[in-house]
Homo-oligomer: A and B are copies of this chain.
Amino acid sequence: MTIKALGYAAQHSFSRLKPMEFEREEAGAHEVQIDVLYCGVCHSDVHQAENDWANTVYPCVPGHEVVGRVAAVGAGVTLHKVGDLVGVGCMIDSCRSCEPCHAHEEQYCEGPNSWLATYNGPMVPAAKAPDGRNMYGRDNTYGGYSNVVVVKEDFVLKIPASLPIEAAAPILCAGVTTFSPMKHWGVKAGDKIGVLGFGGLGEMALKIARALGAEVTMFTTTEEKIAEATKLGAKGVLESDTEALKSLARTFDFILSTVPEKHKADPFIPTLKRNGTFVAVGELGPMPGYNNQEVIMHRRSLAGSLIGSIAETQEILDFCAKHQIAPDVEVIPIQDINKAYKKVKSGDVRFRYVIDMASLKQEMAEA
């Protein structure tokens, strides 16, 4: 059995997102049907819709920062009930049998199709899978820019009641993507942390690191953003200020780069302490060369990290609720999505667009 759904989709890499009707499978025994209330707009939505990674399956319905209310549950569901406020992040399933899955790190799933992304199907499509199969039986999942999603219950997160609903959405990707590496590399109270890039991820990184008790320096590109950093309790430094960078030699325990494009680590490596790590989470393509002398001399590392596990996503939702931190969002109707994409591309958004899915009703009335 299927249910009717309505979403916004890109039909081609060059086309604007437009309304699209489609069908979803009804919730199975261990699945939850969720009425979408809000969905965050992630920079990667733009990359995916425009096929920047050359792996987009069309039509493409983006959206992996989904907050909604449970509308129906399968017969075997025990974790959620109708009416619960819940969230869905980047993943909706994984192979459940590989070593990372057993270690509760589904985001590194090594199954033949890796994890099942909330939109754009499994991370490894059949054509690239070792045996040419697709264990999920789905080529192209449709994401949260829609009125309804159906998700396996153990990939559904609980949204704490004390979080503003619309602000909870970006925690599901931007929040956990910055929290997971901080947790993995052991960021703790008293540590000195550098953050590169002051967009949706950078803002969450700042707030989470501060709540962990760390001292945060934001590296950014404008005086305006430095003022913004100061307001949020961080120190701001212009990336281009070589004197300031020099004075920060061997300062940071950890640097998180959220920059979503090719960028040099070299100016920042000398600001790491001995054993310090520079983790780039934003750029999924080539990084430029670097001076290994600065890496060797203080046993530094360059690393990467991918979103975060389901357990870490719940942890950071609860952490944000406890510490009363949430991303700064601008709520938009879905009809403004193409305008919003332009601003995301130019870096003009401060800090995260979140779609109010009630705006879809207008399309439904028209349909």
A residues adjacent to B (C-beta < 8 A)? 99-100, 105, 108, 110, 184, 250, 274, 277, 280-281, 283-293, 295-306
Task: Give complex CA distance A347, B108 in Å.
Answer: 39
Most buried by B among A291, A293, A299: A299
Distance in angstroms between the alpha carbons of A292 and B106 in the assembled complex: 20
A274 touches B108 (CB 8 A): yes
B298:A301 contact, CB within 8 angstroms: no
Majority SS of interface residues in chain A?
mixed
A302 interface neighbour in B99, B110, B299, B301, Cβ under 8 Å:
B301
Residue of B with least CB distance to A281:
B296
B306 touches A299 (CB 8 A): yes
Complex Cα spacing A284 to B290, Å = 11
Report if A286-B289 is in contact (Cβ < 8 Å); known contacts: A297-B306, A304-B296: yes
> Is A293 a contact partner of B285 (Cβ separation < 8 A)?
yes
Contact A284 B306 (CB under 8 A): no
Query: Could you say which of B99, B108, B290 contacts A287, with CB atoms under 8 Å apart?
Result: B290
Contact B292 A289 (CB under 8 A): no
A281 CB contacts on chain B under 8 angstroms: 296
Q: Give Cα A305–Cα B297 distance, bound, in whole angstroms.
A: 7
> Given the complex, which residues of B lie within 8 Å of A293, measured CB to CB?
284-285
The 7 A-B residue pairs with the shortest CB-CB distance in the complex, in nearest-first order: A296-B304, A295-B304, A301-B303, A287-B292, A301-B301, A302-B302, A288-B289
Contact B297–A286 (Cβ < 8 Å): no
A289 lies within 8 A of B291 (CB): no
Smallest Cβ distance from A108 to chain B, in angstroms?
5
Taking a contact as CB atoms closer than 8 A, the residue among B105, B277, B287 that contacts A301 in the complex is B277
In the bound complex, residues from chain B placing their C-beta under 8 Å from that of A280 are 292, 295-296
Is B296 in contact with A292, judged by CB distance below 8 angstroms? no
Collect the chain B residues with CB atoms within 8 Å of residue A295's CB: 280, 287, 302-304
- A304 surroundings in chain B (CB, below 8 A): 292, 295-297, 299-301
